[in-house]
Amino acid sequence: MAGSAAEPIGAIASAPGSAGRGVLRLSGAKAGSIGAQLLNWSPEIGRGTFEATLDGGDLNLPAWGLWMPGPRSFTREDVLELHLPGNRYLVSKAMALILRSGARLAEPGEFTRRAFLNGRLDLTRAEGILALVQAQSRSERRAATALLFGGLQERLGSLRTGVDSLRALCEASLDFDESDTGHVPVPDLLHRLHAIEEQLAEALSWEIRREGPRPEPLVVLAGAPNAGKSTLFNALTGSEFPALVENQAGSTRDTLHGAWQLSKVLVRLADTAGLESARGSELLEQVQTMAEAERERADCMLCVVNAADPVWPQPDPGQIRILVWSQVDRPGVETEPPVARRLEFSGGWVACSAVDRKGVSLLAGAVEDALEGQAWQGNAARGLAERHVQALRSAQESVSEVRTGFDLGAPLDLIAEDLRQATDALDGISGRTTAEDLLSRIFGQFCIGK
């Protein structure tokens, strides 16, 4: 990535296409003077929002600005954000004006990279932003948020302090008589080493869990009691241990899982208790909480609605949902769901019957379509965990050298050197000592304007 950090960079920060607003972002020492040149505005007014007119060439546009002089900004540099009418053509023209006024087009992730270089974020948090931008499901969003809010960094902080102080003790002891192991008793050093080993193992297992292969996509059956979820579950999974089916609310309590083979992928199908059925006792509350947790985790929801007695779920734009218009073999029922309801289901609708299996293969196709391109196929947060795992493993190797050193009575300066290597490995994760090419790879995955 070229250029000094203070060089002004600019980018369109809103998504392509027409929208309510188009956002341009500028960062760097000259952000204010470029803004003053193009807008009827002066940075002297101070931090905050302002209304102005963007004036240049044949462009004359009302604009709304947000002025955040450094260091109280995302990049810790002077940042000017311009909000314009969300028309792609106008926004591009305004961007061209900004570039002509002396800013350079930002590279992907360059704003976040500057935030990182200026100490605003450590690398794990920057990765959290990336993972969040790329997250496609609720579970990915949760993993990214954990990174963003410093889950790993918190752990690493105390681990690094432990390694550093052990090294300081080893180094301090060097100044004493050579025949002596030092003025700090070895058992104390070993006690500290043990604590480091434990924390390291814990951080590693946490990251390995994040990195590990995600199970098959989870498809969850949900709907009112008697919608036909359990019957459908049995029909789709051909389960050895079929779900209880009964014409009575509350027959399904525990969430059941089974494998459902679609034409290309295998998914995990879950049968849950009927939505909001029979609350009141502690057990039934628990049943509902479990079912809710399962729906939260779902990569795709099958909202089962009984054609003979339709009960409609609350709309939920945050999730991919397919409407399953069920039990259509029953005499006299509507064979298609009402048109007005269909739009509430982002994954479309399928009419089906678990009894004569009508619509079952259509349903499989709809699920496959809904899952295509979804997070489970490739996952940014997981790729990031891989880097952490490698670094933690290398820290662990150095720490086990330290252990061997103590066992063999090695000189303390050798032990201190191994501890220094462990610190370096940990610093690689937080970005204190991360190779330039690795930084470029990480930040290069961002979109321009981020």
Ligand X SMILES: Nc1nc2c(ncn2[C@@H]2O[C@H](COP(=O)(O)OP(=O)(O)O)[C@@H](O)[C@H]2O)c(=O)[nH]1
Cβ within 8 Å of residue 78, ≥6 positions away: 27, 28, 29, 30, 31, 32, 43, 68, 69, 70
Q: How far is the CB of 258 from Mg ion (least distance, A)?
A: 13
Of 252 and 319, which CB lies nearer to ligand X in the complex structure? 252
Of 51 and 246, which CB lies nearer to ligand X in the complex structure? 246
230 binds Mg ion (CB under 5 A): yes
Q: How far apart are CA 395 and CA 146, in angstroms?
A: 22
Cβ within 8 Å of residue 312, ≥6 positions away: 305, 341, 344
Name residues contacting ligand X, limited to 315-334 (CB under 6 A): 326-327, 329-330
Q: How far is the CB of 272 from Mg ion (least distance, A)?
A: 8
Q: How far is the CB of 290 from Mg ion (least distance, A)?
A: 13
Of 227 and 381, which CB lies nearer to ligand X in the complex structure? 227
Binding string, residues 208-247; x marks residues near ligand X by CB under 6 A: ---------------x-xxxxxxx-------------xxx
Q: How far apart are CA 324 and CA 305, in angstroms?
A: 6
Name residues contacting ligand X, limited to 336-365 (CB under 6 A): 353-355
Of 233 and 376, which CB lies nearer to ligand X in the complex structure? 233
Interface residue with Mg ion among 173, 252, 326, 353 (CB under 5 A) is 252
423 binds Mg ion (CB under 5 A): no
The phi and psi torsions of 246 (rounded to 5 degrees) equal -155, 150
Total of chain residues touching ligand X, rule CB under 6 A: 21
User: Which of 75, 175, 56 shows the shortest CA–CA distance to 126?
Assistant: 75
The three-class DSSP label of residue 59 is strand
The phi and psi torsions of 359 (rounded to 5 degrees) equal 85, -5
Of 253 and 382, which CB lies nearer to ligand X in the complex structure? 253
Q: How far apart are CA 341 and CA 320, in angstroms?
A: 15
Q: Are the beta carbons of 98 and 26 closer than 8 angstroms?
A: yes
Interface residue with ligand X among 199, 251, 434, 440 (CB under 6 A) is 251
- The site partner of 228 among Mg ion, ligand X, none (C-beta below 5 to 8 Å per kind) is ligand X
Of 199 and 255, which CB lies nearer to ligand X in the complex structure? 255
User: Which of 134, 120, 109, 8 shows the shortest CA–CA distance to 72?
Assistant: 120
75 binds ligand X (CB under 6 A): no
The residues with which 55 forms a beta bridge, in sequence order, are 60
- The site partner of 171 among Mg ion, ligand X, none (C-beta below 5 to 8 Å per kind) is none
Binding string, residues 269-308; x marks residues near ligand X by CB under 6 A: -----x----------------------------------
**Hey, what are 44's tokens?**
């002297």
Cβ within 8 Å of residue 378, ≥6 positions away: none
Q: How far is the CB of 275 from Mg ion (least distance, A)?
A: 11
Q: Are the beta carbons of 14 and 108 closer than 8 angstroms?
A: no
The phi and psi torsions of 277 (rounded to 5 degrees) equal -75, 140
Strands (E) across 237-276 are located at 256-261, 266-271
Instruction: Summarize as ranges the residues that interact with ligand X (CB under 6 A).
Output: 223, 225-231, 245-247, 251-252, 274, 326-327, 329-330, 353-355
Instruction: Summarize as ranges the residues that interact with Mg ion (CB under 5 A).
Output: 229-230, 252
